[in-house]
Structure 1
């Protein structure tokens, strides 16, 4: 039988949060005034972080929760939030008895939108039921719906992933040039940083300009030539590229020759 929380006038109960970022970093926090270790993780005291009401339903309607607090904790900095390190991170939230360390999970999901007002931040948490809102049947598309080297694509991710060093970093730290690489191969791909403050972070290649890769956000301060990175080649998801460059048209996850909606709006031709 599970414990009934807050059944007594006074209880030794605190709130805890667990955040698993996409780069593999896992952080734990608690509203208690000292650190707590349970569930195999050290939960740091963060009394400034306050959860809103957690809404749970027995239906397929998505549950909701929100957490807010001051930008004061070393583990959650303004630069990290702005750079998107916490976007899409997995989150668990619950209650813990700080004496017995008995804990219960009240909410699990992912970090949705992150907002900021002055020195305060707020994060909207999306429950796992959010997956139920996705389309069961994929919509038609002239471009491929599969992630490059992902499910449905069938191409090997190892084959198109390369270890490299940065030959040059632009003044804004958003333009980078790799040593000994053909830049055009990495359009629409991604870059994972191995060294420096951004270690583990994945940045998308938004565009290619000559020998330069244009990233979706700037690298951290201190990024310089010689940094080690891992680069994944990219694909523009067109049938022409899939066939000519990758010889993978048989697995194309789209409908490139299906007439579009404009066909329905055409006037009949009068002979």
Structure 2
């Protein structure tokens, strides 16, 4: 029997995964944990061969749990890890390269079957004393702990261009359309200013402007306690700071 342990902070997800796994005649679910701390207590005692480990948990992420388990468990007892993840395909490819696996929520019986087939083959070729390849696991964890840098889709001549966050100097609203400015060009985008603020971490300075705080080069005091921000684009554009946003801008720029 393949001894399996399930870690997920959501009870329905734990129960669903346990149910699907127990439909397989050669699988035994030997334990479940509701969070990362509980997982670190129970997994070394249960000594499962496989751990299904949720990445996003409120106390400790699945990635942090994996790192702690590397330090806690002997090499020969270290389980194979299957991450439940919402990471994009680029990051998921790294699991395949390093002989780990992943499943996406909501769980699919077919995907779970494929994952278990992969695990059976891996376990069959693993000697009793053989533990994880620690360097490989460390590399994959390091990769996944770096969140993917968001990109912004903009339009130019009926083409879609993807901009990195650090290319964007500021964005503004004009005639109900939102535009973003890089150092050398301007583009229209389908996002609202509030979406740019949330998605890219831009700073709102005015009802019609958000800026990349790393692209602010100069702060000019203006009328009635307001400011203009001189930006790092080629034109050295000046972006207004209205009275509504003076306090938050001062805090963000540490003025």
RCO (CA 8 Å, sep 6+): is it higher in 1 or 2?
Answer: 1
Query: What TM-score does the superposition give when structure 2 sets the normalisation length?
Result: 0.23
Bigger share in helix: 2
| TM-score normalised by structure 1 residue count | 0.22
- The structure whose residues are more often strand, as a share, is 1
